[in-house]
Amino acid sequence: MTDRYASFVRSGAGRALVKRLGLPDPPRLRRHTPGEPLLPGPALLGAAGGSRLAVQVGRILLDAGVELRDTPASSTPDPTTGRLPGNGALVYDATGITDSTGLRQLYDFFHPQARSVLPSGRVIVLGTPPAGCGSPREATAQRSLEGLVRSIGKEFGRGVTAQLVYVTPDGDAGTATSLEATLRFLLSGRSAYVSGQVVRVGTGTATAPADWNRPLAGQVVLVTGAARGIGAAVARVLSRDGAQVVALDVPAAGDALAAVVNEIGGTAVQLDLTGADAPARLADHLADRHGRVDVVVHNAGITRDRTLGRMDADRWDAVLDVNLSSQERINDVLLERELIPAGGRLVAVSSIAGIAGNRGQTNYATSKAGVIGLVDALAPALAGRGISVNAVAPGFIETRLTARVPLVIREAGRRMNSMAQGGLPVDVAETIGWLAWPASGAVSGNVVRVCGQSLLGA
């Protein structure tokens, strides 16, 4: 669970060696501390001609306490040092680009600023979802943004993340609130290990919190697999953000579960989700104790790796059942009994193995690809009930499980991403938290990778 290489390269001797040999240089990532400023420096906000979001974005940034720069001021080098002033973030509204020839405006904005972004700074490009564009030319240009953002994520280094946010053209309040929530998440240290992602903000209903430091205040949240690793981190982060956490795990993990629950002041449910009566028992528990569950975080998951020719049927069945089928059974019962109210959130945990496939993980990848299918299918189906459905897809996260991966594979997984390091369970938890916020209601149908922009994909 410790990244000794990262510790080494941050030492004096390590620094020198890394520079000399051109070794990977994992930066120390900026992570969220409640009450801290959203950015390590001012944000530079730019917009293509005819863009529709810049004013709204500017207001969001100012409300969040971000110091704003506009383009002309900041591209002037400091008269003493001759250097550009450092930017905490570059935010560009590209919604006005309606033709590929207009993409030049991206170059004009980013080229002079490319070296101005501070460590762990942020690059955010806002666009219109190609499917919602008025012409093939506009859709093509808007789709191009993805290539730019993913390249910037790979180029800028030093913990800088780059994201593309597609915002559905709609004056709806849900969109505005969800854009605020999404920008706050993406600018903050909460998204330390999220980069190269495309996030879609649609038109669902969203509710701004009274206090952005407690965005989950009053929410009843169920977290499965909460005794250890990512699940325990989710329980802690969501509790920190104001949620009342119901932490679930199998009876065998009862002690670890109790420790988490005692730490955060939540309640524990010991239950094996694969049992035939588990969904009904869980629903009963939630109905009796809370009368509802606002957020369901389907985190429980297992691996039983073998190549397909050597895999016994039990390994296939167990992984598919825990990671996928049991989620479906629980969703169905909770929805049928109307225990998830309007404003509810389903957040599932997929995996980059579910996106890219993986050797020795036909069972796991099948189950985790299914989770993506579940999001794609349920998000539109539940939109009418005001329930959002999203997933995170973790890449290499430092846990008890990855600590057991053989050294060479572990090092490849750790370094082959734009952050040159593995993520922490808290990084996945913060991302799940954002998707769970009442303020994120118009963020639905997304699968957000928490992978430091891993090279791996499909």
Establish whether 166 is a catalytic residue.
Answer: no
Instruction: At 134, list the tokens.
Output: 């008025």
Q: Which amino acid is at 336?
A: E
CA-to-CA separations, 285 to 156, 172, 221, 278, 281, in angstroms, rounded:
49, 36, 13, 10, 6
The pair phi, psi for residue 119, each rounded to 5°, is -55, 140
Q: Are 100 and 115 in contact (CB under 8 A)?
A: no
Beta carbons of 432 and 202 less than 8 angstroms apart: no
| Cβ within 8 Å of residue 309, ≥6 positions away | none
Choice between 13 and 21, CB closer to its own copies: 21
Can you tell me the distance from the alpha carbon of 219 to that of 239, in angstroms, rounded to the nearest whole number?
A: 10
The CA angle 432-435-436, to the nearest 5 degrees, is 85
Give the shortest CB-362-to-its own copies separation in angstroms: 4
Q: How many CB atoms lie within 10 A of CB 281?
A: 14
Helix crossing, 362-383 with 313-320: angle to 10°? 20
Q: Taking the complex as a whole, how short is the minimal distance between the CB of residue 336 and its own copies, in angstroms? A: 13
Q: How far is the CB of 83 from its own copies (least distance, A)?
A: 13
Nearest residue (CB) to its own copies, 143 versus 385: 143
Contact 396, 422 (CB under 8 A): yes
CB nearer to its own copies: pick between 22 and 265: 22
What is the spatial distance between Cα 261 and Cα 290, in angstroms, rounded to a whole number?
16
Between 255 and 314, name the residue whose CB sits nearer to its own copies.
Answer: 314
DSSP letters for 58-92: HHHHHHTTPPEEEHHHHTSPPTTT-PPPPEEEEEE
How near is the Cβ of 37 to its own copies at its closest, in Å? 26
| In the complex, minimum distance from the CB of residue 150 to its own copies, in angstroms, rounded to a whole number | 3
* C-alpha angle 150-167-215 in degrees, rounded to nearest 5: 95
Rounded to an integer, what distance in angstroms lies between the CA atom of residue 97 and that of residue 107?
A: 13
Beta pairing partners, 90: 44, 123
Q: Please state the closest distance from residue 195 (CB atom) to its own copies, in A.
A: 10
Residue the block writes with tokens 């190269």: 196
d(C-alpha 355, C-alpha 373), whole Å: 11
Q: Which is nearer to its own copies, 188 or 323 (CB)?
A: 323
Pick between residue 20 and residue 111 the one whose CB is nearest to its own copies.
Answer: 111
Task: For the CB of residue 448, give the shortest distance to its own copies in the complex, in Å.
Answer: 12
The residue with tokens 């009994």 is 337
Enclosing H/E stretch for 267: strand 267-270
Judged by beta carbon, residue 128 or residue 219, the one nearer its own copies is: 128
Please state the closest distance from residue 415 (CB atom) to its own copies, in A: 12
Biggest CA–CA distance in the chain, Å, is 72
C-beta of 185 vs 316, nearer to its own copies = 316
Contact 162, 187 (CB under 8 A): no
The DSSP 8-state label assigned to residue 325 in this structure reads I
Which residues are part of the catalytic machinery? 364
